[in-house]
Amino acid sequence: MDETQAPRRKTGVVWLLLLVALIALYWYFTRGAAEPEARRDGATDAELAADRAAPGADPDDILVDLRDDATDAQLAAIERDLGIDLTLVSAESYDERFYRAHVDPARQASLLAALSRRPEVEIAEADLTMSIPAVEVAAPPAPGARWEGYPDDPKYKFQWHLDQIHMPEAWKLAQGEGVVVAVLDTGVAYEAFEKYHQVEDLAGVEFVSPYDFVGNDRHANDDHGHGTHVAGTIAQATHNGKGVAGVAVGAKIMPLRVLGADGSGSVAGIADAIRYAADNGAKVINMSLGGPLPSRVLKKACEYAHKKGVTIVAAAGNESRTKVGYPAGYPGVIAVSATQLDEATTFYSNSGKDVDIAAPGGNTRVDQNGDGMPDGVLQNTIAIGDPTKSDYFPFMGTSMASPHVAGVAALVVGAGVTDPVEVERVLTESARRPNAQTYVRDRYGAGIVDAAAAVKLAKQRAGQATARAGDDAGAQGTTATHGVLAGVLGLLMAGAVASMRRRVMVGGGYLLGAVAGAVALVVLPANALVASALAPLALLSVGWGVRALRAPLAGVAAGVAAGLLLLAVARIDIAWVPGVFGFDPIWLGVNALVCVGLARAALRP
């Protein structure tokens, strides 16, 4: 054995250990920021068993999401070959080629398997039903002494929930002017149409691009009451001497009816509405709805909206479980748990690792402040199930907590922070710990949303010359921090590869190439061509015959390998790589290994 072989092997191991240690430190200090991208659909065995037994999966209907470039001829071939009739989910779903079929339950499994084998089919799955929980409503407040403070809405004295998130101070800083918030719910009482009417305290609020995905028309009116209540929390007319107040008083509401009068609706309609909202100018989506079962169609729709710059907020669920429901459990969706007046989380609120933040959801079974009103969230809405009548009703639920956060998100967007990753970061970093309560991460997430602190932080971030990295559409970390880290990783990888080839001293060109390769990779757009071994392979193919170039090009390959590992640890979404089954990190890891192999080959004597 060569007498120098063992020491050289030890040197290589040291280089690799340093590289791994630096990557591990980077993961440790950024795992909180990247957490929305790292969620898993896991649960305890007992909870999974409960999911399988839960109602929601529809044995009669299947959903088929074709590739966007699928042709009508391919659609006809599917119908002919499988003997099914595919119909558009709505008039808005042709562009995304999104269909449903009513099938014999006995054939559902075999049809789904057959559809999944066809290259033009992206997703085929059973339709699911999602819903709002049973609504507990207290009586409207009795006439009494008027509120004389700010704002001048006379029933504001019963809106403890807006004080809890520090709205009076926040309104002086921002009002969310012009920000479009899509409310995916039972509809909104926003217009006088047939038997429907606009509730009085939504007068003056601007409504844009309404659509009914249940009735498939342009009139997204509420025949339940839940959606109007949610919309009121987001943007109720405020300081108008009437009724109650809302959070983002300058925001516009996009009413999207996805749930029927019974409070339930199809995943197909919800997914379609998410894409519609993203394509029609919404910057925030609120979903005070959910279910225990995951849906790939719904997850894909959330990813689509998130990549288009939409902040998505959803209720964690009211089942007192230790796992949030869906869509709250998907990556990129802000999951909201519920608090009551004393800032404890409520008896009904779901909890778990996927809870991002808490907000007032209310508890109509108590009156902790002794004001004679149950401690629900008070807003103007129609009487439950009767769109001809309306009043001011206290509701409770994570359904009521979610729109508080959606409204604050609209304030943050209006203050200049628009990227959904950054919006979530502002919300969570500005959240506060509960008063006189034991903070538990799984119940509160980052803490209770604080509107005033969030707006202040948003204004500060919007005024900074350099924004933080992070964007599901592929922002690569263009900050100096990422560049420096990439360069250091490139040097470490260069040293490790050189030690493997027993050539520790290979010159400045090799090391400079490694730094350049690593830094370039994290600055360039993240797509499957850039984030791969393609560039090092092409460069080495051209420069292989020039011995003087082989060391620098070997360095580039080593540096790209380091950059690929950095992207994998940072959980960056790679465009053109399927986002399911963890393909992004697999793609990055395999290409990093190829780059290491190229570097080693180029360093041969």
Active centre residues (catalytic): 185, 226, 399
Instruction: Find where tokens 């490139």 sit.
Output: 490
The upper half-sphere exposure of residue 393, i.e. CA atoms within 13 Å in the direction of its Cβ, equals 22
In angstroms, what CA-CA distances link 156 with 91, 141, 168, 243, 379? 41, 11, 11, 7, 10
Query: 290 with 301: CB under 8 angstroms?
Result: no
CA-CA distance, 317 to 401, in Å (whole number)? 10
Other CB atoms within 10 Å distance of the CB of residue 356: 26
Select from 376, 380, 349 the least CA-distant residue to 227.
380
**Is residue 336 classed as helix, strand or coil in its secondary structure?**
strand
CA-CA distance, 12 to 353, in Å (whole number)? 39
Angle between helices 480-500 and 583-602 (to 10 degrees): 50
**Is residue 311 classed as helix, strand or coil in its secondary structure?**
strand
Per DSSP bridges, beta strands 311-315 and 284-287 are parallel
Amino acid of residue 399: S
Q: Return the exposure string of 481-518: e unless at least 16 CB atoms fall within 10 Å of the residue's CB, then b.
A: ebbebbbbbbbbbbbbbbbbbbbeebeebbbbbbbbbb
Tokens of 582: 């963890």
Query: 378 with 158: CB under 8 angstroms?
Result: yes
Other CB atoms within 10 Å distance of the CB of residue 309: 18
Instruction: Classify burial at 2, counting beta carbons within 10 Å of its beta carbon; exposed 0-12, middle 13-18, buried 19 or more.
Output: exposed
**Run of H or E including 62:** strand 57-66
Amino acid of residue 521: L
CA-CA distance, 602 to 596, in Å (whole number)? 10
For the chain, helix (H) and strand (E) counts, in that order, are: 18, 14
Task: Locate the DSSP E strands across 219-376.
Answer: 252-257, 264-266, 284-287, 311-315, 333-339, 357-360
